[in-house]
Structure 1
Amino acid sequence: MRARWVAALGAAWGLVLAGAGGVAWATDPVPLGAGRVVDQVDALGGQLNAVEDRLEELFDDTGIDLYVVYVDEFTNPSDRQEWADQVALDNGLGATQYLLAVATEGRQYYISADTEGPISGDQLDAIEQSIRPQLSDGDYAAAAIAAADGFETAAGGGQPGESGGGGFLGGLLIFLVIAAAIAVVVWLVVRTRRKKQGAAGSGTAQPPVETLDTKELARRASSALVEMDDAVRTSEQELGFARAQFGDAATQEFAQALETAKANLNEAFTLKQKLDDGVEDTEEETRAWNAQILQLCGQASDELDEKAAAFDELRKLEQNAPEALARVQEARAKAAASIEASAAELARLSTTYAPEALSTVADNPEQARDRIAFADEQLAEAQTAIGAGDGGRAAVSIRAAEESVSQAVLLQEAITKVGTDLADAEKNAAALIAELEQDMATAAALPDADGRVAGVVASTRQQVDAARQGLSGNAKRPIATLQTLEAANTAIDGVVQGVRDAAAQEQRNRQMLGQLMMQAQAQVSAAEDYITARRGAVGAEARTRLAEAGASLVRAQQLQASDAAQALQFAQRADQLAGQAIRSAQNDVGAFSGGGMLGAPSAGSGGGGGGMLGAVLGGIVINSLLSGGGGRSSGGLSGGLGGMLGGGGGRGRSGGGFRPGSFGGGGTRGRRGGGRF
């Protein structure tokens, strides 16, 4: 059995508490011991050795490590996913190491998996389903053995393959239409409704917050976050376009209003994060924070609306449609001309890096082509409208094309970012290997009465050898390799840091911080790119995680020079939250493409985007919203737009397509899975 580095063994107290009067005692994330099973509630009885033997056999046959933890209840955090992932992270589990967590009293279970691991999300789902009957029967040893059997079968390719991408791509094309529709409509809606309502405002007021039940209040707060986040993002793009055309001076007041709105939005996202964390909130806190989110979003909306009249006058696409059309046509030509180069760059990266390392950009060239095709349709519509003297219709189509071209550029730039970050990760991993070689030499010379140092050195050697393999050949996983090495580094640092002087230790801490800052920045950047290009399908949860990740990254940067230890914690938090944002966004995208009002086109829809585009833009969105069916109200933001587009923090597991993953194959945890038994 391989040696493992661990924190101090701490499972014995759980056995004592579990027997106290039959009460179910809550359990925080636990340290793993030298074996592969932690059983705090005596769930296995006399079958512990049989389970350990099966898990050892699984590793010998497949190289997959499966750890199993039995506790009574999950707490701090109480969410099964977060609890199991925290155990995995605290104990430094790598890409080929999985954790099955079971709460026997809470009747919950979950398999924590690294996104870089060899077992797919669909395979993990199948394994979880296969062990549920044994868990329901209370046969916990059989469940663990069945899980090991499932992993062995999956490692041999025996589980179902990934689902086809046709339905996903069709759905993705439709939500692209909706994302573009948001960009087209959001300011036209505000402008039109403001003109209709006049300075005094009108329309049906939202019911007072006090009259709403807690569930409805939470739903409205999530929808408000989605709608306001879209409005701010679109405003940023709108401001950039206007600055390029008219200069900074003419847009200064709107820029200031946008900054104020962003500050309110960030505060609202912080409150949403508190509502979503593992700490149980009281009814009063839940209502107060959701009400405050609504208030902050309403204030942000008012800030933008107050300055929007002058900004609308500045844009005047209706009067400048021919000039605007020429400008967007030029931008379209540049974006289209660079797609093949981006595709070639992705193909080159594919000869060097494993598919998982490129998962977030694998379809970016095709997505960029879709957006250019969409822009072409809208530019043609604008040209026709200009010829007919319909400036309003021309403006709508020009704005849609402008947004689509902007997203095409973003998708291409993301490929370059991935390549740069993977190359940086390779360099950092190579440097860390050299440091670990020195640490192993230092550790080997230390006294070792109980053999603990030798065990840590042997484990580190195994990780270093595996890392060298991960950095060679044509299927490299540098970011996942770097994360594995960082876990090994943490373990061996506990052995050798006592013999380092203070200056050397400080230098070591700062070097680790630099590596983690790079990792966190890459993860946050990838989440931002992914959500921005697909925001029509992304709900409040992903946006909240991204906002919190960005705030943590800024805090890490602020502390980098003065407090390396604290900055390290914020960088780790930013990396984890950004990975959660990507996974949540991908789940939203997968659920969005699965059907429903805006799902994939039916077999008789024609296959192309034009017909559906006309239905969505011309019929559903513009006519509905401009006639008053989803604009802002005096009570803050309505749930119409956010709710229609899947806002509200959807937590459902994706039905297919992408497996939730992290930037560049970075190897994070947090798949949706498990359940009650």
Structure 2
Amino acid sequence: MAGFWGKRKRDALELQAQDAVLAQRAGTALVAADERVRVTTDELLFAEAELGHDATAQLGAALESVKQHLGEAFRLNQLNFDEIPDTAEELRTRNARIVQLSEWAEDLLDEQTAALADRIAKARRAPEIIAGVRADAARLRTRIPHARDTIARLAARYAPEALTQVESNPAEADQLLGFAEHGAGVAERRREAGQREQANLALEASTESVRRAATLLDAVETFEVEALRAESTLAAIIEDSRGDVVVALKEPRSPGVATALTNLQAALAALPAAGVNADPFSHLDRLREANSGLDAAIAAARERAARPIPPLEHVHHAIDDADRQFAVARDVIAGHRGWIGADARTRLAEAERVRIDLDHFLGAPAATLSVIDEDHREQAMTMARRAAYLAGEALQLAQRDINSSRPQQGPDQWGGGYGGGRRGGGSDLMGGILGGLVIGSVLDGMFD
């Protein structure tokens, strides 16, 4: 018993120590959050002066929300020191809430001020950035004559359609640089007039214009290198393609190989004569596509040659067998509907779906086709056999259901009275007749 009370006392002391730590943490967090609000208020004033009200609207809204929630935290902290006695649980709950609100406030303000930090730093460096835009624009202008000379040199070597992606780059770069210089002047004047938000927008537009102009001029230099590389690659692919033509002529002639070979020969024939300006990129793309198509067709033909193609009559036999199996299973199930369970019906429905898919695969009702392409025969036979198998399963399951549902009675129990005989005898049979469970020819005989 002494050990029990000793443990309870130790637990109580430990809980009191934890409550004291939580209370101290709540006070520290509340002070830190309040100071963070004061600092952020000063940062907001500076940010509005540098970036404008619209750019700092989210920070202002976050600051107002934080002030409102910190008001709740201060009210909770005041309750901890009023004249009304509090239980340990009440103090614990309030202090935990104070910590939660204070930490949330600091996290939110940190997130919003971090989002503006780069823009504020850039605004402080505005004079330096304006000078950089003007220097970059002047440097890039010296590259424009060289870019025009490069375009002229490329025009003497390549077809006009090959140059469509870069021929206007020097002129566009010149316009962008002019816009950038004008924007830098606008940014400078707006900044001096105290219109910081407009100044920053103009400066951002100027910086982006310089970047795009540099990209356009770089593209001209890159194009010349890529065009030479395309010519070299084209020569290698031409040699490879001619070798592929020789190989393809020795392969078994399938429709796929014949079509791909024709496409590759047409691509080779479309190549310009030596000395004629051409578009190496378009010829390279066409040859690469035709070459890949022939490789794929040869691979498919070789794979097909490794497997015997089913004779046409075998495919027709498989389709006929599937149709017969389906017809038998359908008639049995239709004639004994009241005894047929879900399994047989499901197999029959799946067999019908596969059979319909076969017609869609062949593009016409399979029973009406006298010729089936060799490329489709194997798949057609597989689908027909699948339909026949499912129909056979449906028939077996239907027969099982019929056998298990027939009245189990002897020859002397026919019509043993309503409710008489084994399991009601005659009533079971009549129920089967009324449920459509007797083949139509039997019913015709009964009512003849």
Query: TM-score normalised to the size of structure 1?
Result: 0.27
In terms of Rg, which structure is larger? 2
More helix by share: 2
More strand by share: 1
> Higher relative CO (CA 8 A, sep ≥ 6), structure 1 or 2?
1
